[in-house]
Every structure is written in C-alpha cells, then in structure tokens.
A and B are shown apart, each in its own frame.
Chain A
Amino acid sequence: MELLNQVSQFVISGLATGAIYALIGLSFAIIFNSTGIINFAQGEFVMLGGVLTILCINALQLPLLAAICAAVAGTTVIGLVFERLAIRPLKNATPLALIIITIGASILIRGLVMLLWGKDTQALPAFSGNDPISVAGATLLPQHLWIFGVTILVIVGCRLFFHHTISGKAMRACSFNPRAANLVGVSVGRMVLFSFVISAAVGSLAGVIIAPLTMTAYDVGVMLGLKGFCAAIMGGMGSGLGTVLGGLILGALESLGAGLISSGYKDAIAFLILLLILFIRPQGLFKKGETDRV
C-alpha cells in the first residue's frame, strides 16, 4: 500500500510536469510545422515567461494576473524581434545555419537575462495557495490543477485556431506546401512571423504556470526546452494530441524513474527516451511512417 501511494504520488506530480512538457512541445511543433525550423531558443521563451512574471510582480508591483499577461506579451514581442532579426535576414537557410542561429540566440537571451537579473533562483507564489488536496492517497497541489487547466485550455484553443480560423488554416497550408500556399494568396513570411509569436506565447505561458512549482532562474530554459522537444518528438512533431500524450508519458516516466531509481539520473531518463525514440521510431509514437522524398 505504501508503495502504491508513492507511485500514485509520483504519477500525479509527473503528469503535471508532463503537461508543461506537452505545452512546450506544442510550441516547438507550431514553429516546426509552419517553417521546418526546430527552434533551439524555445526553452528561453519558457524561461522568460517565469522570469518576466516575477520581475513584473517585484519591480512593477503588478497583481499576478496583470504580471502574467505582461510577461506573456513581453515574451511574444521578443519572439517577434527574434524572428525579424535572426531568422528573416538569413539568405541561405540550411538546417545547419538555422540550428547555429537559434543556438546563438538562445545563448544570447540567456546571457542577457543573467546580466540583467542575476543568477539567483526565485519562486513565483502559487496562484491559489499551497493547501494540498488529497486524491486517491496522493496529495495534489492547487498549482497542479492550474497546470492541467491551462494546458487543456491552450490545447483546445490551438485546435480551434488551427482548424477553424482563416489564419490558422493559412498557417497549416504553409506547413503542407509553402509555395502552393503562396500561390493562393497566403503571405508565407507573415505566417512564419505568426508562428513565432504564437509559439513564444504558448512557451512563456508554460514557463509561468510551472514557476511556482520548480522555481525559476536564467538557466532553467535549457532543460525544459529539451524535454519539450522530446515530448514533441514522441508525438511525431505536430499532431496536437500526440504531443500532449508524449509530454504526459515523458513526465510520468521521468518522475517514476527519479522516485524509484535515482533522482540524480532524472534528466538522463528523458534523454535516453529521446534517443530511443529517435533511433527506433523517429516518426513519433503514434504516427505511421512516412517515406522521405528527395
């Protein structure tokens, strides 16, 4: 019974982290699907979400909700500037060049935050207190509920946007075939910009809702970003629900592994899963294989 309680505790907290990974994975997929770019700076958007919220609360004395809105808006602007300054001027956009540019940008953002904000780890107060709720022998924090709620909202929102609005459909058109999309009057450049904006917003929101649980600092983005990428890979880069499942599975496995095997190897577990998926099922867990066209 003791073990069962422990396991359900690990699973619940794992699923909450997994929901965050799912959101970050989704933000990876949004950019990838409209541009074919894996944005290595994605984790920094997540970090900026948390850091900017704390900054708005401490420095500007904003109430929580306003601070969150300001932080998400701020990150979105940074995403927009990033696309304009680093991605658009690139003439010969080989994958190699894009990888190096986005890595460079991520280091730059991280470095600037370190310079302006320092290296301290800070916590955001939980949105609605810390009184634990008992569910099936495990305790659940109110923040966990916030995470699940926001994740569901964002995923439903994205689904509606990409499938039921003209802009969303235009962005999907770009991902299928940018040239054809251009021919029917979609401005591909603008859609690329849009994708960075939406992706930055989703990523930063993930950073905001996890900040009360894990604390935040200038360098949390690296790991969160990589694990979000892992979730996206598990979900096959795109299919909305696949990424969510990927994130949840990853979070639960990681939490179980950390709890039952060794907490020091927690991060290694995620990367081992990433490598295994890349080696064995690079098309994702839930997708059928596609043939490569040359």
Chain B
Amino acid sequence: MKSDKLKFFAFCLAVLLAPLPLSGSYLTNVLVFVGVNSILALGLNLLLGFAGQISLGQAAFFGLGAYGSGVLTSVYAFNPWVAMVVVALAVAAFAFAIGFPVLRLKGHYLAMATLGVGVIANIAFNETVDLTGGPSGLSGIPNLAIGSFTFDTDLKNYYLVWGFALVMILLSLNLVNSRFGRGLRAIHDSEVAARVMGVNARLMKVQVFTLSAFISAIAGSLYCHVMTFISPTSFGFNTSVELLTMIVIGGFGSVYGSILGALLLTMLPEILRTFNDYDIIVYGLLLVVMTIYMPGGLVKGVPALFRRLTPKKAKEGANA
C-alpha cells in the first residue's frame, strides 16, 4: 500500500513538471488532450477492465457532457462550474436509468446495445440543429475561470485538466482497492460466483456504469471549455473505438495503464504526422495484434516479455 502511495506521488510530480521543459511549445497543447483522454480511458477502464463490461458507447456520455456544458454556458449563460456539476449529475442519472436494461445483457449483445446508444446520441447531436448547431458545430463556449483568473492558455488548461485527472486517478485507485472494487473484479471473473458470494452484481454493474458515465461527462465538460468549439464528429463511434484501443494497449484493469494508453494514442498521430487520416488503420492493427499477442496490454505485457527474454533472472527472482 505504501508503494502505491509513493507511485502516485511520483506520478503527481511527473505531471507537475512535465510542461516545464516544453516551455509553451505545441506539445503542451497535445498534453492537455492526453489529460482529457486519460480521464475518459480511466472511466472506461473501470467499467471494462475491472467489471468486465464492454461499452462501445462511451463517446455518447463524453458528448452529452460536452454538449450539455456547451449549450448551457454559451446559449443559456450558465456559470461553467455550475453547468459542469449539473450536466455530470444529469448524465449520471441518465446512465443509471438506462443501465438496468443495458447491463442485463452480456458479451456481444452488451457491445451492440451500447453501440446503439452511442449511435443514437451522435445522430441526436447532428439533428438537433437549433440547440447544438448540428454538423457545423457549436462555437462561442467560454473558457473556465475562477474569479478573474481565466483558463485561456495551453499551460493553464494543462494544469486544469490534469488536476481533474489526478483526482480521478486517486479516486480510481481507492475504489479499486475497496470492497466495491473487489466486488467488481469478482463479477469480471465469474458473475455467478460473485452473486453466490453475496455480491449484488446487477446493482454494482449499473453503479460502475453510472460512475464511468459521470467521469466521461466531466471530461466532456472540460473538453468543451478547453476547445471553446465542439462538433459531433468528436463524439462518434470512432471516439469510442479509440478509447477502447487506449485500454487494450495500456492495460485492461490497470489505472496507470489507462493513462499510458491515452498518452500513446494521443501522441501517436502527432508524431506520425504523415499518417493523418490513416491513423485509424494503425488503431485497427493495434487492436488485433495486441489482443492476440499481449492481451494484458503494455503494462502487463512488457514485464512479461522482459521476464521471458531473461529467463535466468526470473528463476533467480522466483527462488529468492
């Protein structure tokens, strides 16, 4: 437990210092989105990695958060912080309501149902033109501000987004090691066994689904205030798949794995500029190859590979 705390502090320190050597280059901007994606990946990983329930509709909650905050602040002149809380609670309530019928489904059916929710939400963003601006997007969303201090530069947004991300990470770490987290993992391994042991599987699945929607909605609110412009393409099926890829690459059921996946997948298109549209091919390839050859993601796969390449050391380690 002590090493867990140490790890978290080291991570906080890394987050705090990361933008210093970049000194205002556009990489700071990229890191802001790494932060947003980290929150999203974390939200999905709680559901998928820990409870074993797939969702291909995460982008719907992300989009509802972004559009909720965007519309409330730009059209109805809400205070952004109030809007963020109201929207996150509303999205969570919505997820809780649809959670009961949706999470009764398993495996492929669950995947298709969540995908359906995602597609319907995306169509709604496109079609409610009066409210959302439809395909041409919603602009004029204000930046977040505390008093007269406005989060209007990349560096300020970086600390804003990562502040939220760190809170989410801490929350997830605590959650995973709690009674609730153990229950979720039990459901993942065998729902029947978990229920026999007295875990209220049905309720817990809905609860973690709700939590994951809540987290995604917060990420959506942050995203809309950072971007000040949103359009439906950011909240489509591709986004849901991208989030899934982050977790598959980073590591199923690993908090830091989610962050690693978000970091790699957000940086990848930036580094490989030549790919532009074609980065989606890389995602596809990564999904297939990782699932076949490294099903635990990089977080578990790389140490395992390392052990395999140095068998002698591993044996010594086992004896010690």
Contacts and interface: CB of A to CB of B under 8 A. Distances in A.
B123 A106 contact: no
B107 A95 contact: yes
Contacts of B314: none
A103 B120 CA distance: 19
Interface string A92-123: 10011111110111111111101100000000
Main secondary structure of the interface of B (DSSP, over half): helix
A89 B288 CA distance: 11
B124 to A, nearest CB: 7
B264 interface: no
Interface stretch (A63-71, A184-192, A262-270): A262-270
Given A101-B287, A104-B286, A114 B119 contact: no
A272 interface: yes
Interface residues of A, number: 43
B303 to A, nearest CB: 19
A107 B287 contact: yes
Given A92-B295, A105-B288, A278-B105, A226 B123 contact: no
Contacts, number: 114
A224 B108 CA distance: 17
B112 interface: yes
A271 B54 contact: no
B301 to A, nearest CB: 14
Interface in B202-255: 237, 241, 244, 248
Contacts of B119: 226, 267-268, 271
A114 B277 contact: yes
A153 interface: no
Given A103-B241, A112-B281, A282-B105, A275 B288 contact: no
Contacts of B123: 264-265, 267-268
B280 A111 contact: yes
A272 B113 CA distance: 10
A185 B138 CA distance: 62
A100 B107 contact: no
A3 B147 CA distance: 60
B174 interface: no
23 contacts: A92-B295, A95-B107, A96-B48, A97-B291, A99-B107, A100-B248, A100-B287, A100-B291, A103-B244, A104-B283, A104-B286, A104-B287, A104-B288, A107-B281, A107-B284, A110-B280, A111-B284, A226-B116, A274-B113, A275-B113, A278-B101, A278-B109, A279-B102
Q: Which 8 A-B pairs have the closest CB atoms?
A: A104-B287, A107-B284, A108-B284, A111-B281, A95-B107, A38-B108, A104-B288, A271-B116
Interface of B: 48, 52, 54, 56, 101-102, 104-109, 111-113, 115-117, 119-120, 123-124, 126-127, 192, 237, 241, 244, 248, 277-278, 280-281, 283-288, 291-292, 295
